[in-house]
């Protein structure tokens, strides 16, 4: 029996299902812009999901399990991220959902004084004010080779920086929730991904 059939993983799957439902319910409230905190909520939900998804990928790598499309290129999956282009990507290889998840997880779980306009961006995330008073973009950066005190970028430093719009952030929360929630289905075959959370 593989890890995702174990009873203990159903706890994480149920949490993911509830996270997706919370995001969808809040999205459907149709609040006035001045009273909407959808980006804040989705950032909180995303952080929990990224940690779970990172652990899932580690388990899949160890057991040789199916990857549920996580290693497919971003532009080949229907996650609402098809047009996503990193602002900066010093890592080799094609940008996949798995690589995006790992970089976003590091940006959110190990934040520093991140300034996207700095010559040496450090790990973290931030919004970009545009004068509207509303959050239009969130910039995430994973920069594992740069420490907090550095003023200049190391020549060989790896830096990944990407900007997500609120709709992209919401789509990512829904898609990760749906993926991680699959073990809540009775008699799940461990491979088939069905829509448990409608966007």
Q: Where are the domains of the chain?
A: 3-184
Structure tokens at 16: 């993911």
Of residues 41, 24, 38, the one with CA closest to residue 174: 24
**Residue 3 near residue 59, CB atoms below 8 Å:** yes
- Would the pLDDT of 199 be above 90? no
List pLDDT tens digits, range 123-176. Answer: 999 988 788 888 899 999 998 887 655 545 555 678 999 999 999 999 999 999
Report the predicted TM-score, pTM, of the whole model to 2 decimal places: 0.86
Higher pLDDT, 36 or 5: 36
Tell me which residue has tokens 């790598």.
Answer: 61
Lowest mean pLDDT among 68-77, 97-106, 152-161: 152-161
How much is the pLDDT for 5? 47
- φ, ψ of residue 89 in degrees (nearest 5): -150, 95
**Could you report the per-residue pLDDT of 109-122, keeping only the tens digit for each?**
988 888 777 777 88
Instruction: Tell me the average pLDDT of the chain.
Output: 84
């Amino acid at each position: 029996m593989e890890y995702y059939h174990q009873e203990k993983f159903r706890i994480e799957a149920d949490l993911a299902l509830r996270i997706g439902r919370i995001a969808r319910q809040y999205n459907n409230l149709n609040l006035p812009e001045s009273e909407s905190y959808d980006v804040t909520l989705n950032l909180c939900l995303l952080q929990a999901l990224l940690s779970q998804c990172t652990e899932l990928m580690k388990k899949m790598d160890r057991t040789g399990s199916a990857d549920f499309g996580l290693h497919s290129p971003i532009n080949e999956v229907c996650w609402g991220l098809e047009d996503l282009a990193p602002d900066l990507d010093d890592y080799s290889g094609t940008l996949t959902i798995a690589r995006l998840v790992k970089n976003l997880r590091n940006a959110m779980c190990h934040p520093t004084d991140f300034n996207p306009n700095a010559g040496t961006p450090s790990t973290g995330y931030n919004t970009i004010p545009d004068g509207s008073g509303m959050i239009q973009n969130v910039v995430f950066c994973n920069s594992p080779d740069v420490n907090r005190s550095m003023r200049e970028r190391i020549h060989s430093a790896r830096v990944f920086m990407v900007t997500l719009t609120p709709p992209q952030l919401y789509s990512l929360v829904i898609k990760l929730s749906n993926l991680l929630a699959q073990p809540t289905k009775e008699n799940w075959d461990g491979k088939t991904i069905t829509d448990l959370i409608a966007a």
